């Protein structure tokens, strides 16, 4: 997709997401409930995206969203806020009410030609800053985060 973005003058953005409170769910309610939670969260994420966007679980309680040609930074803010809102809604999992939050890091492709690996690292860095900022929020990557 990054290759297409360079060729076709398209923008892309990567959101790196990590669930807040997932370990507590696994530890207190069991891995079966944790697994069910991941399935519900994945479905919730998909409902907030367009068909041209991609959501993937990359391990544990981490997800990545690839947004194809987002129209603006404001659009990315809207998506991030909608994701936070929908993930925050309590979920009924096998008769148990479960609540978690989500921290989101966002990296945007620029004409500086970032590699996929670098964009992922940038989004991951921004996600950790979001967690340090109180969790259940989002942050856009900026180069000062790595200094």
Question: Which positions are annotated as active-site residues?
Answer: 61
Rounded to whole angstroms, how far apart are CA atoms 74 and 84?
A: 15
Give the pair of three-digit tokens for residue 92: 């009924």
Distance CA 47, CA 36 (A): 17
**Sheet arrangement for strand 62-68:** 54-59, 62-68, 12-20, 101-108, 138-140
Label residues 60-80 b or e (16+ Cβ within 10 Å = b).
Answer: ebebbbbbbbbeeeeebeebb
């Amino acid at each position: 997709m990054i290759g297409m973005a360079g060729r076709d003058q398209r923008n892309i953005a990567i959101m790196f997401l990590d669930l807040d409170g997932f370990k507590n769910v696994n530890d207190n309610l069991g891995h079966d409930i944790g697994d069910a939670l991941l399935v519900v969260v994945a479905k919730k994420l998909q409902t907030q995206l367009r068909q041209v966007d991609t959501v993937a679980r990359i391990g544990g309680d981490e997800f990545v969203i690839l947004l194809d040609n987002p129209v603006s930074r404001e659009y990315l803010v809207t998506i991030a806020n909608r994701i936070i809102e929908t993930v925050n809604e309590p979920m009924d999992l096998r008769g148990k009410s479960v609540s978690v939050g989500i921290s989101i890091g966002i990296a945007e492709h620029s004409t500086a030609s970032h590699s996929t690996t670098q964009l992922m690292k940038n989004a991951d860095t921004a996600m950790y800053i979001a967690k340090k900022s109180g969790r259940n929020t989002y942050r856009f990557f900026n180069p000062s985060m790595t200094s």
